[in-house]
């Protein structure tokens, strides 16, 4: 049985002191023994955030990492640094990084392997633009993102990866994919993982939906057979996040 994961992606929001205050505000609202909870915070917030969640059910994630081990890569952060700071999860391939910072499927593949090598849990994002959806390219595009992203990753490693399906047209727009649209893609991702690996890996891997998930629509999305959680942007910065974590109460 897959455990649900409710992950907040804070994006470029909250200073270190604001992060500590938000974690304190949400502390009692995000308790739910049945789900895993994490906050993917800006890099500079990681150390105070790890300290602030000590003794709670919340884990801290990063929003990026660099795929080299160490060295002359000004401005980058390594997997080893994230681990040493107490990070558990790391997002890669978010459409904002693909779009604004030119991150490619090949970069994402290297990041995925580096994160796994260090025991971090990757949250690998994939998703289509509105234009690609209208052209009927959604499933083939996402299969391609996953094919390249998982190249050279073993079945045993793949079981521990989290995939987040985030349609670009639903991110920050207030337009959510319907639960049927989200399920169609998440089910196809699972089918493709079964083709790339095997049925057992497909059964174990967690697939999240992200894109304008909020307290009002979370329960319906999370009731779908192949949606194992959410990657939440805007609503993760508010008390609403507590209602999403407790979607089943």
Which residues are part of the catalytic machinery?
94, 166
Please work out, in degrees rounded to the nearest 5, the angle formed at the alpha carbon of residue 42 by the alpha carbons of 38 and 47: 75
220 in Cβ contact with 180 (< 8 Å)? no
Which residue's structure tokens are 């196809």?
Answer: 188
Residue nearest to ligand 13P (CB): 233
Which residue's structure tokens are 């080893």?
Answer: 80
| From candidates 78, 145, 157, 212, binder to ligand 13P by CB under 6 A | 212
Beta strands in 47-165 (DSSP E): 58-62, 89-92, 121-126, 162-165
Count of residues interacting with ligand 13P (CB under 6 A)? 14
The nearer residue to ligand 13P, 42 or 234, going by C-beta atoms, is: 234
Closest separation in Å from C-beta 234 to ligand 13P: 4
Closest separation in Å from C-beta 159 to ligand 13P: 22
Does 188 bind ligand 13P (CB under 6 A)? Our answer is: no
Does 211 bind ligand 13P (CB under 6 A)? Our answer is: yes
| From candidates 42, 61, 122, 210, binder to ligand 13P by CB under 6 A | 210
Structure tokens belonging to residue 79: 């997997």
Does 193 bind ligand 13P (CB under 6 A)? Our answer is: no
Does 36 bind ligand 13P (CB under 6 A)? Our answer is: no
162 in Cβ contact with 121 (< 8 Å)? yes
3-state class percentages of the chain: helix first, strand second, coil last, to nearest 5: 45, 15, 40
Structure tokens belonging to residue 249: 């109460």
Does 42 bind ligand 13P (CB under 6 A)? Our answer is: no
The nearer residue to ligand 13P, 46 or 202, going by C-beta atoms, is: 46
Does 128 bind ligand 13P (CB under 6 A)? Our answer is: no
Q: What is the distance between the alpha carbons of residues 2 and 18, in angstroms, rounded to a whole number?
A: 33
128 closest CA partner among 177, 91, 89: 177
Does 32 bind ligand 13P (CB under 6 A)? Our answer is: no
Task: Give, as ranges, the residues between 216 and 235 that touch ligand 13P (CB under 6 A).
Answer: 231-235
Structure tokens belonging to residue 8: 């907040």
Does 127 bind ligand 13P (CB under 6 A)? Our answer is: no
| From candidates 3, 34, 44, 172, binder to ligand 13P by CB under 6 A | 172
Does 167 bind ligand 13P (CB under 6 A)? Our answer is: no
Closest separation in Å from C-beta 175 to ligand 13P: 9
Burial of residue 34 (CB within 10 Å: 0-12, 13-18, 19+) is exposed
Does 171 bind ligand 13P (CB under 6 A)? Our answer is: yes
The nearer residue to ligand 13P, 88 or 191, going by C-beta atoms, is: 88
Q: What would you measure as the largest C-alpha separation in the chain, in angstroms?
A: 49
47 in Cβ contact with 78 (< 8 Å)? no
**Residues of this chain that bind ligand 13P (CB under 6 A):** 9, 94, 166, 171-172, 210-213, 231-235
């Amino acid at each position: 049985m897959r455990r649900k994961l409710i992950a907040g992606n804070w994006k470029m929001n909250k200073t270190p002191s604001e992060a500590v205050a938000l974690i304190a505000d949400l502390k009692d609202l995000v308790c739910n023994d049945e789900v895993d909870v994490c906050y993917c915070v800006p890099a500079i917030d990681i150390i105070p955030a790890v300290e602030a969640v000590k003794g709670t059910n919340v884990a801290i994630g990063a929003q990026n990492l660099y795929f080299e081990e160490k060295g002359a890569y000004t401005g980058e952060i390594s997997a080893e640094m994230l681990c040493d700071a107490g990070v558990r999860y790391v997002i890669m391939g978010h459409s904002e990084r693909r779009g604004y910072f030119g991150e490619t499927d090949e970069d994402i593949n290297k990041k995925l392997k580096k994160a796994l090598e260090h025991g971090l849990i990757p949250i690998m994002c994939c998703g289509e633009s509105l234009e690609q959806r209208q052209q009927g390219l959604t499933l083939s595009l996402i299969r391609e993102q996953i094919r390249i992203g998982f190249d050279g990753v073993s079945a045993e490693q793949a079981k521990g990866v989290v995939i987040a399906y985030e349609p670009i047209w639903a991110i920050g727009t207030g337009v959510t994919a319907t639960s049927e649209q989200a399920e169609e893609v998440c089910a196809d991702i699972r089918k493709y993982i079964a083709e790339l690996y095997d049925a057992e890996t497909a059964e174990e891997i967690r697939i999240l939906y992200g894109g304008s998930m909020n307290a009002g629509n979370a329960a319906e999305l999370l009731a779908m057979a192949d949606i194992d959680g959410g990657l939440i942007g805007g609503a993760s910065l508010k008390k609403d996040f507590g209602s999403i974590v407790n979607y089943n109460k």
